[in-house]
Amino acid sequence: MTTREVAVDSRRAVALVAKREITTRVRGKAFRISTLVMLIGIIATVLISKAVSGSDNAKDVGFVAGQQASAPALVSVGEAIGSTIHTPTVATREAGEQQLRDGKLDALVIGTTADGSLQVEAKKKLDTTVRNALTVLTQRTALDTQLRKAGVDPASVSDAVSAARLEVTSLQRVDPDEGQKLAIGIIAGIAVYLALVVYGQAVAQGVVEEKTSRIVELLLTAIRPWQLMLGKVLGIGALGLAQLLLVGVVGIALGAGTGVLDLPSSVTAGALLTLLVWFLLGYIMYALLFAALGALVSRQEDVGGAVAPLTMLIVIPYVIGISTLPSNPDSSLIEGLSFIPLFSPTLLPMRIAGGVPGWQMGLTIALSLALIAGLVWFAGRVYGNAVTRTGARVKITEALRPI
C-alpha cells in the first residue's frame, strides 16, 4: 500500500469515527437538552438585559404639601450628581408615610428646621443616592441662609457656582461601545469556559465508556488508537462548534432585534468569529488531554478524579478573567496570562472590549498550534498505551513508555 493510500485510509477511519460520535450523540437526549438549556440561557440573558436597561432608575422623594419649595432645587441637585429624582407632592404626612410603607416613595420631606435643614423620613434605610442629593440640598440651603444674613444675594452666588465647569482631557480615545463590547467578551469567555468543561469531560467519559464495555478492543482491530482518539475528539468538537454557533447567532440576532446590542455588525460578527476560533483551538488542546487522562482509568467513577487537575486549568483563567476585566478591561495581568496557550481560549474572547493587537492574536494562535502539535504526540502515546489496559489506574509514566 502506498503512502497516499495509507493517508486516505487514515482520513477515512478518522471520519468514520467522527461520524459515529456525531450520530450517536445527536440522537441522545443529553445533547438536545443541553442545546435547549443553552438557548434558554442566552435568551433569558438578553431579555433580562433589556428589562434592566429599560427600567426607570429614578428616585421618588415626596414632599408634604407646603414643603415643596425646595423640590426644584432637589431635582437640580440630582441632575448635577447624575441621578433623576422625581418630587411628587402628597396631601398629608400620613398619606406620604403610607406611600413609604408601600414602596412608592424612596423618601418623604416633612418639614424644614429654623436653620434650613430638611426633615426627612424613610421606610428603613435612606437610599445612598437620595441621601447624597438631600445632603447637598441641605448644605446649599444652609449656605443660602448664611449669605442672606451677610447681605449677599444667594441667587448670584448660585449662578456663579453653576457656571463653573470641570474640564477633562482624555489621553486615550474613549470608546462609547466599550460597555457592550465588554459584556459580549465576558459572555463569550463564559461560553468557551462552559463548552470546554462540558465537551472535554464528554470526551473523557466517552473514552472510559468504550473501554469499560470493551468496544474499544473491537474497534482497534480495524483502526489504530490515534485514529480512534482523533475521530472521537473531532466528532464531539463538531457538535460543540455547531451548538455554540447556534447559540451565538440566536443571541446576537435577539440582542440586535431588542436593541440591547447596537454595535456595528462587523463588531458582533468579529466577536462571534473570535468565540468560534478560540473554542476550536481550546477544545482541541483540552480534548486531547481529556482523552489521554480518560484512557488511564477503567471506571466512570474515576473519571472526575483523573481529569480534576485539567478542569482546574480551565477554571483558573475563567475566574481571573471575570473578576478582573469588568473593572479593568486593560489589565496587564490578563494580557500576560492570555499568552499561555491553555489560558488563551478563555481570556482572549474576554479581551474584546480592551482590544487585542493583531500581533498578539497571531502570536497566541501560533503558540496554541505549537502546543497542539506536541499534545497530538503526547495524547496519542498515552491513549494508545493505556486504552486497552483495564483494572487499576495506569500511571502516565507507564503510559508514555514505548510498548
Give the C-alpha distances (Å, rounded to integers) separating 360 from 64, 179, 337, 367: 62, 22, 12, 10
Q: State the chain's mean pLDDT as an integer.
A: 81
CATH architecture of 59-152: 3-Layer(aba) Sandwich (3.40)
Cβ neighbors of 225 (< 8 A, separation 6 or more) are 380, 383, 384, 387
pLDDT tens for residues 282-300? 899 999 999 989 888 888 8
Q: For residue 371, what pLDDT band results from cuts at 50, 70 and 90?
A: very high
Q: Please state the rounded mean pLDDT for residues 251-273.
A: 75
> What pLDDT score was predicted for residue 367?
95
The answer on pLDDT for 3 being more than 60 is no
The answer on pLDDT for 370 being more than 90 is yes
Whether 339 and 364 have beta carbons less than 8 Å apart is answered as yes
**Domain boundaries, given as residue ranges, for the chain:** 10-51+178-400, 59-152
Q: For residue 73, what pLDDT band results from cuts at 50, 70 and 90?
A: confident
The residue ranking higher by pLDDT, 403 or 152, is 152
Residue 128 in grid coordinates: 445612598
> What pLDDT score was predicted for residue 34?
81
> What pLDDT score was predicted for residue 327?
78
**In terms of residues, how long is the chain?**
403
In 3D space, the residue among 200, 185, 237 whose CA is nearest the CA of residue 351 turns out to be 185
Give the C-alpha distances (Å, rounded to integers) separating 51 from 21, 47, 182, 260: 40, 6, 19, 9
DSSP letter string over 315-339? HHHHHHHHHHTTT-TT-HHHHHHTT
Q: Please state the rounded mean pLDDT for residues 103-109.
A: 88
Half-sphere exposure of residue 264, counting CA atoms within 13 Å on the CB side?
Answer: 5
Residue located via cell numbers 476585566: 325
- Of the chain, the percentage scoring pLDDT greater than 90 comes to 8
